Structure formats: structure tokens, C-alpha cells
Chain A
Amino acid sequence: MTRLAIENVSVDFGGVHALKDVSFSFEAGSIVGLIGPNGAGKSTLLNCISGITRPTTGRVRLGETVLSTRNAADIAGQGIGRVFQHPELVLDLTARDNLLIACHRSLDYGLLSELLMLPGVWRREREAAQRVADVLRRLGIADSADTEVRSLPYGHRKLIDLGRALLMDIGFLLLDEPIAGLNDPEIAHLTALLLELRQEFGFGILVVEHNMPFVSRLCERLVVLDLGQLIADGLPAEVLSDARVISSYLGEAADA
């Protein structure tokens, strides 16, 4: 089983310690929730894993491969998928074309054969279109395949963003606030879908989310960050009753 390991990662932004010596690891197939108050460093940690931010010290490892010295595109190629809080889609392309963008790595024909549209290109494109059609069906939005993303509801857009990760042969999926902006039926659909997909494909999920009922339903383990430091790591029930977690995060959430 492949492990994704965060090892003694610190990030300084010009004197501000966004992350301080954070270490934990998890296996493909498990679902870990990353929680903590605003500014705790959750997004910075996701950015470190996906190569958008480079750790000041420490490293991120996927199995034996060190990720933190590579660029973001290479890390994605290693099978680390990322779903953003706000789906970054091309609005005037259809759902299908947006998903085809994620087939980039598997379509490895060269520019010259693309310019001339050689038969090989045509065949590969058809295979990719088939995989996209399958993913659209799997996500339950096959009807929207030919609709411009501009005119699709927000929930659909989030599913398309998730679909892009599915097309990339991922071993791990990083989810940044996946249910923000979704309504209750959409949340229920996404929860069930994530659990099914994890079962089917065996990828690990690291999810940042503020909604505690969602987090407890989805995650088998919680990691808590506060002011850039890891303050708790364990089963949801244990972590959520931890005095430090309550005072730094949950208490604040209850007050709010």
C-alpha cells in the first residue's frame, strides 16, 4: 500500500510561520480529515503536497518518491489529484471538454501529429472521449456533457472538478472544502459518491472541511492544525473530544 508522508514540514512566508514541523502520513484507501480554525495552515499544507508551495524545511514523500523537490505538474503526474474550493473550469467549454483537459497526461501525442491530425491522434482522442463519457455517467451528470459549464449549477461544476481528478489515475486526492456552497441533497450525493469511489479505486483522500457532521461521516481519522502546528491526530471521536481541539477550534466554531 502506498503511503503519502508529510515529514517535518515547515513553511515560512517572510517571517510568518504558516506551518511548523508538521508530520503525519496516511495510506492509499484511507480518508483523513484536516481540520482547524481559519489561518491554521490547512490550505498551505495542501499546497505543499501538490507542489504549489515549496516547504521551507521538511519534505513530502509518496512511497519512496520525494515529491517536495518536484514541480506541481510532475506531482500531479505522480498521481496526486487536487480538487479546489472553487472549481477552476473553462466556462465557455462544455462539461465534456473540461474533462478532456484532464486526459492531458494520458494523451501523449506530439504537437506535429496534432497539427496534422494524424490517425493516431484521432484514435487516442476517441478513447479519451470514451473515458470522459464513462466518468460523466459515474458522476451522474451525463446529461450535461454537451452543456457549456457557464450554464451549469455550482454543484455540477464541483462534480466536474472531481471528475477531472478521476481521469488522472490518482493514488491520492486532496479536497479543499468540497461541500462549501452545496445544498443538502448535493452534500449527501457527494458523501456517498466519495465513499464509493474510494472503494472502487482505492485512492486515499485528504479533505479540508469545516462542516463537522460531514467530516465525521466521511473520515476515519482527523488531523488538527492550529497556528501552523499539529495539535491532534487520531480517530474522529477521540479528536473531537480533545480539550485542546475544543478550546482552539470547536469552541470557536460553537461561539460563531
Chain B
Amino acid sequence: MTGAADIAGLPAGLPKRPASRGLASPLLVGLGLALACAAPLGLNGYALYLLTLAGIFALVALGLNLLTGYAGQISLCHAAFFGVGAYATALLTTKAGLPYLVSLPLGALLTTAIGAAAAVPALRLKNLYLAIATLGFGVVLQKIIFEWRDLTGGGGGLALSAPTIAGYELGATGLYYLTLAFVILGLWGAWNVSRGRTGRALRIIKESEIAAASLGIHIARYKVTAFALSAFYAALAGGLFAYLVRYINPESFNVGLSIAFLSMVVIGGLGTIGGSIVGAAFYVIVPELLRGIKDAPGLVFGLLLVVVMVFMPQGLWGMARRLVWKR
């Protein structure tokens, strides 16, 4: 049988992308990278803490955006993945005595398996139904951390000392650079996936599962992949978070945090990689900037969220992209 794909004999060479896009992107990336590398020089301790936190949340948002923005699967259990990653990394480091740089990816891999299990309801459920199912899943994970007192210390939480890498104690600046390295790697990976075969499969699954299947895409496999991959990102971030705050408690990883993660993705821009970074930065930094406003920082921040959503439904990044690249 002749394959419809073997249409041959046509000249090679792809049409060029508009020049503005080709130039603006590396420029923006370079500028952001330079700023991020230089940041610890000009910032005080608290500001550096906030920036590290923004980086950690950006990592979660990158993974969650692949799941929610690309594949269209809502999750309200990412705070639990974040928490499991935090606990797994902390316990592997303190109780199993593994080096921090080993326990971090190991804890994330463990959480990846749990993330894959969380995909099972997604094979049957959609939208709000899936949201509630994942909410339940998150509550169960949080409860397990709470009840497994021998291992996790239960409600009393877990106090941690500064992590060490090859004998050197990792201070605030060190942890910032470690986070930055993971954000860059995570950004690069998410960018590649979003442009590749998996990202495209996720996009069409979000659009129409029937169409995706008729193009030979195994829906279940990709939903599991998306959940697992985004759990990996969340858990890696959790492992960094544990050593940023040096004290973790099951209470911190509640549904409120899951909703915050979801908000970052939506504010930044669903289905955009840059949006994950912008959304996380917005969520961490803007409330701090509003502290000066007497009595009502929460009120202003809440209203700001409403305004962003009403006037920029495609998110901050989506808006910027339309303005800068005219698309």
C-alpha cells in the first residue's frame, strides 16, 4: 500500500519565521537570565527569599501548566505533590542520610509515581468532576503525611538544618542559585515538551479526545504522562521549598495552596511556558509590593486578580505576547 505520507520530490527548506520573533525571544531570555544571575548582588535577605520562593512556585507552575494549560486536565492536588516532594526530600536527606542533591531528584521520582496514580480518575472524569476527585486525592495525601507520625513527625512538623552540597553548607544565596538552575532546566524541558510530540498530543487531547484518538494518540497514556510529569516538577519544587523555609508542616500543603498554584497558571497564561514564570512571580511579588497600602493589601490583590482575568483572559503572558509579537 502506498503511504499517503510519502509525498516526495518537493524542494527542501522551511519557510522562515517572522524576524521580530526570532530576535526578540533570545534577547528577552538573555536579559532575564542576566538579571536572575545578578539578583543576589543587589537584594537584601528577605527579597532574595521572595525571589527564591517565586522560582520554586514557577517550577510548580511550569509542570501544572503542561497538565492544565496544555492537556486541559484540572488538578487540585498539586499542593499535596509539592508536600510529598518536600517530605520525601527532607526524610531522604535527614533519615536516610543521602546527599541533598541525590534526595532531591529521588524524592521527585517517588512523587512522580504518585502523580501517575492521580491520573487514574482523569481517565474517567472531566472538568469539575476531575477537580473534586483530585481535591480528594490531595486531602488523602496530606492526611497520610499527617498521620504517619513515626516518619513525618505528624502535625508537629519537621525542622530542617541547612542543606550541604559536597560538604559546603548551602546558604540563602546558594539555594537561590540551585533553584535558578532547576528553573532554567525545568523551563528548557517544558519548552521542549510543549513544542514536541507530547505537547502537541496534549493540545489535541484538550481540544477533542475523539479527534486525538483518531490521529493515533493514546489518550490514557498521555494523561498519565502529563500528571506524572507535572507531579515531578511540583515535587522537585517541594524539595527546594523544604530547605528554603527549613520547617515543613502538613498544614502548609492544603487545598488553598493548590488553588494558588492554579491561579498562577491562569494569571500567567494557560498553555504558555513564559506565563508560568510570570504568574508565579506575580503571585509572590505583587502582594509584597502592596504591603505599603494601608489596611488593604489583600483587598487590592484580590481586585487585581479580577481585573487581570476580566481584561486579559489569555493571562499576562498571553497579553504580552500579543502586544510584542502581534500574535
Interface residues of A (CB under 8 A from B): 2, 28, 50-52, 71-74, 76-77, 79, 81-82, 84, 88-93, 97, 100-107, 109, 111, 114-117, 121, 125-126, 129-131, 133-135, 137-138, 145-146, 148, 164-171, 197, 200-203
Contacts and interface: CB of A to CB of B under 8 A. Distances in A.
Nearest to A106: B5
B244 to A, nearest CB: 25
B52 to A, nearest CB: 24
A71 B220 CA distance: 11
Q: How large is the interface on B (under 10, 10 to 19, 20 to 34, 35 or more residues)?
A: 35 or more
Given A52-B210, A104-B197, A146-B17, A76 B215 contact: yes
B2 A164 contact: no
Nearest to A118: B192
A51 B208 CA distance: 15
Nearest to A201: B4
Given A76-B216, A104-B216, A170-B4, A111 B225 contact: yes
B3 A201 contact: yes
B215 A135 contact: no
Contacts of A79: 1
A28 B4 contact: no
B5 A168 contact: yes
Contacts of A134: 7-8, 10
Contacts of A103: 197
A111 B211 contact: no
Contacts of A93: 200, 203
B204 A72 contact: no
A167 B15 contact: no
Contact of A125 (B8, B188, B196): B196
Interface of B: 1-5, 7-8, 10, 12, 14-15, 17, 188-189, 192-193, 196-198, 200-201, 203-204, 206-208, 210-219, 225, 229, 271, 327
Q: In the A-B complex, list the 7 residue pairs whose CB atoms are closest, starting with the nearest.
A: A88-B211, A72-B213, A88-B208, A76-B216, A82-B214, A169-B3, A115-B189
A111 to B, nearest CB: 6
A73 B278 CA distance: 36
A58 B4 CA distance: 30
Given A76-B214, A104-B215, A137 B10 contact: yes
Nearest to B208: A88
B193 A101 contact: no
Contact of A102 (B1, B215, B225, B229): B215
Nearest to A135: B7
A50 B214 contact: yes
Given A88-B208, A104-B217, 12 more contacts: A71-B218, A72-B214, A73-B212, A101-B200, A103-B197, A109-B197, A125-B196, A131-B5, A133-B10, A167-B5, A169-B5, A201-B2
A166 B5 contact: yes
